[in-house]
Amino acid sequence: MLALGILGSGKGSNARSLLEAIRAGRLDARVVCVISDVAGAGILDLARTRNVPAIHVDGSPFRTKLDGAAQDHVIRLLREHGADTVVLAGFMRMIKSGLLRAFPRRILNIHPALLPAFPGLEAWTQALRAGAKVSGCTVHFVDEGMDTGPIIVQRTVPVLDDDTPESLHARIQEQEHLAYPEALALLADGRLRIEGRKVIRT
């Protein structure tokens, strides 16, 4: 059984999908804590309603990365709560080497694009502007790059002629809520290994 520590900055829709997958028996895991760099984030409210420890960590003085004392605090909290796997669910900070060393090859992220295409912010808008016909989402292991880690699961979403950024993003999120539990279930079942830059399903 995986012991998940979830890091998020927003509403927590992916965290909700994981909690629902656990409750339905589709994912052999438990969520041991939820940590957010945003004091009023919905993901913390979600955790509280499920009786999961919900913790705000101030990321100052940095704005776009988790580093320094804040990173040390997060590592300490994850260890105190017994996390063995770290799940980024809308966490809007870059992960740095300290956390990567603390949880080697046990940090996962979900990105709203078919990586390596459209890394970074608002990937759905990037896809529309580029005239892409297909978008989707990617679950990957985290490394020190921006959305560059080994890919575990991808799900595709067609880009419609009348799509807006909002409508495309909404359909991508529907697939995210399926892809993240799927990827973590593979990890929980011991069916993943990393060889170089590739994830091998066994």
**Residues catalogued as catalytic:** 111
Q: 35: closest CA among 59, 62, 18?
A: 59
Question: Which phi and psi (to 5°) does residue 196 adopt?
Answer: 65, -115
SS3 of 5, please?
A: strand
143's CB contacts (< 8 A; 6+ apart) are 100, 149, 150
Question: Which phi and psi (to 5°) does residue 147 adopt?
Answer: 60, 40
Q: 130: closest CA among 163, 179, 156?
A: 163
Tokens of 156: 């595709």
